Amino acid sequence: MEQGSWNQWVEDALTKLESLKVLRSLRPIYLSTEQQSRSQEPRANDEEYQVFDEMQAWDRSSVEVSISEPTFQRWLHDIPSSGDEIVVRDGVADGKVGSGEMQQFRRLLLFSGNDYLGLSSHPTIRNAAAKAAREHGMGPRGSALVCGYTNYHRLLESCLADLKKKEDCLLCPTGFAANMALMVAIGSVGSLLARGQKPLKEEKVAIFSDALNHASIIDGIHLVERRGSVEVFVYRHCDMFHLDALLSTCRVKKKVVVTDSLFSMDGDFAPIVELAKLRKKHGFLLVIDDAHGTFVCGKRGGGVAEKFNCEKDVDLCVGTLSKAAGCHGGFIACRNHVQMQFRPEI
């Protein structure tokens, strides 16, 4: 099977969408910094980047938390919490239950967070976020297809595409949403190219998914599975013999392999070099969820594919900005720029 077949299928699916008149183009809006900032309150000191040689107080804030003694006991004994047993007013913490009483607090160091570089509390990030809110307000004011897509979104997309060495990128509200959207889009290729109302078995898309993939991939697959356009095969965690065997016996032509690149629970890497070899052998579309590798793996922070020198073998790369980037949002970086045709210039 030629890898190029997927390009053709995607192009055919887009042509079908166009003929159905359901393709929507973005309507990019230009936000001018000059114009906005002139009418606003005085700008805070917005130095471009601040670099610190030593650990600073805010570095601790991403890992150091205070929790009340009753909450701590709940954590220890795995007792569910309503989330409102602790309320902080005017810097004084008191319990809702029996308020007025002073509560004991414990300081904990969290090793379970994803703020790998401590950037969520870095002054440059804080200042940039505050500056953006000062100049442009909050919220997108509409979905990307209506009026919520701006020159800043496009700029971020092209920076992320560069980071991932891909031609294009699509921003999503979260990494979770990115995986859901991508699985649904991939599955839709099966239904769009079906000759009849429902795709026959051989017209479907076969999705091969690692057993320990993130919940958002699994939810996305379940969503598209219910529509009847995909066949799903779950292979044993990182087991390339199992995957190879499943691929070899599968008669469906449109194959996709999806895997976390760096698994959140076990902390192990997907065998990306072996996956690249299997991709050449079977011609599947390789999708990685690089949520944990982006900005921390590889020399440029390009992620797990960069670390293992496999960027060219990855067709689609999902990422999140809520972990090492210390912000919020998700994205899908992709190999070819079929979707570019439908994006107007800003």
Which residue, among 137, 117, 114, has the nearest Cα to 125 in the 3D structure? 117
Q: Counting contacts by CB under 6 A, is residue 175 touching ligand PMP? A: yes
Q: Counting contacts by CB under 6 A, is residue 116 touching ligand PMP? A: no
Q: Counting contacts by CB under 6 A, is residue 68 touching ligand PMP? A: no
Min separation Cβ 263 and ligand PMP, Å: 8
CA contacts within 13 A on the Cβ side of 141: 11
By CB under 6 A, which span of 50-58, 104-112, 169-177, 223-231 interacts with ligand PMP?
A: 169-177
Phi, psi (deg, nearest 5) at residue 100: 105, -35
Q: Which of residues 279-318 bind ligand PMP (CB under 6 A)?
A: 289, 291-292
Give the C-alpha separation, 122 to 59, whole Å.
7
Q: Which of residues 214-243 bind ligand PMP (CB under 6 A)?
A: 214, 216
Q: Counting contacts by CB under 6 A, is residue 209 touching ligand PMP? A: no
Give the C-alpha separation, 203 to 200, whole Å.
5
**Closer to ligand PMP at the Cβ: 56 or 174?**
174
**Closer to ligand PMP at the Cβ: 175 or 326?**
175
Residue 287: which H helix or E strand, with range? strand 285-289
The partner residues of 255 in beta bridges, in order of sequence, read: 206
Phi, psi (deg, nearest 5) at residue 285: -85, 125
Which residue, among 191, 143, 161, 129, has the nearest Cα to 327 in the 3D structure? 129
Q: Counting contacts by CB under 6 A, is residue 103 touching ligand PMP? A: no
**Closer to ligand PMP at the Cβ: 13 or 212?**
212
Q: Counting contacts by CB under 6 A, is residue 176 touching ligand PMP? A: yes
Contact positions vs ligand PMP (CB under 6 A): 174-176, 179, 214, 216, 260, 264, 289, 291-292, 320, 322, 330
